[in-house]
Amino acid sequence: MPGYRFGKHPPKLDYRTLRFKNYLTPAISPPPPNWNVLDQVYTKLGTSDPTRLFPMDGNDTLGDCTIAALAHATTTYRGLIGRRDIMAKPAVVKLYFHLTGGQDTGLNELDVLNYWRQHKVSGDKVLNYASIDPKNHPHVEQAIRLFGGVYLGFQVQQNCVEEFDQHQPWTPGPLTNDGHAVFAVAYDANVVTVLTWGNTQRGTWAWWDECVDEAYAILPQDAEENGFAPGFNFAQLNADLGAVAS
């Protein structure tokens, strides 16, 4: 029986964090009723096995879910432009311990994102990230469609592991003191699909509203050049990034 670890700290607030809603222009059409980023990734990479593309990355023995979710985001972005390049487990674990100072303490998502914005991870650096109001489902859906996914954190419900093991969607339940980081890649009217623990996992929107406490769109460094998010106001985002950075 495989093990499963959590490791996301409670959300950290920073007034400088850019907000996703501020860069959606009228040129962007409403999100479609359903979308699955993996359909495009699987087609371009010639495989449909999530266990190979999005491995456990040490999250069975370490609380490195924030870095595993980062690795899954990187694989997704690369897959969308036809590159199969998966971050190796030793690199995931090395980055995790680098950010924790060598202890298995878990991490804060905002600290991970700030590091990624300032340093290359597995050869890639992100342009920036923007926070999404988790209760704004259309914006969550837009971020999945426009940027290939949403990096999110949630407060863990009691039946989290049992539902994962039984291939059942996550549903609301009594909350524990644990936090977990995952990467969302698909949605429809009933569920959101995330990557975690070496596989895909669905969660109902009711679970999302009960448990998710932070969500971010991650903007790859070359997002505009590679055709991500047509109509997204990159110029304003870059101007705002310069303002908060100074």
pLDDT by residue for the chain (246 residues), tens digit each?
468 999 999 999 999 999 999 999 999 999 999 999 999 999 999 999 999 999 999 999 999 999 999 999 999 999 999 999 899 999 999 999 999 999 999 999 999 999 999 999 988 888 889 999 999 999 999 999 999 999 999 999 999 999 999 999 999 999 999 999 999 999 999 999 999 999 999 999 999 999 999 999 999 888 888 888 888 999 899 899 888 765
pLDDT of residue 208: 98
Q: List Cβ neighbours of 47 (8 Å cut-off, separation of 6 or more).
A: 53
pLDDT of residue 245: 67
For 31-245, which CATH class? alpha beta
Q: Side-chain half-sphere of 181: how many Cα atoms within 13 Å?
A: 30
pLDDT of residue 122: 87
Domain boundaries, the chain: 31-245
Spatial distance between the Cα atoms of 224 and 234, rounded to a whole number of angstroms: 8
Helix (H) or strand (E) holding 34: none
pLDDT of residue 230: 87
Please calculate the CA angle 188-58-42 and round it to the nearest 5 degrees: 40
pLDDT of residue 225: 82
pLDDT of residue 221: 80
Spatial distance between the Cα atoms of 198 and 121, rounded to a whole number of angstroms: 20
pLDDT of residue 241: 84
8 A C-beta contact, residue 37 and residue 151: no
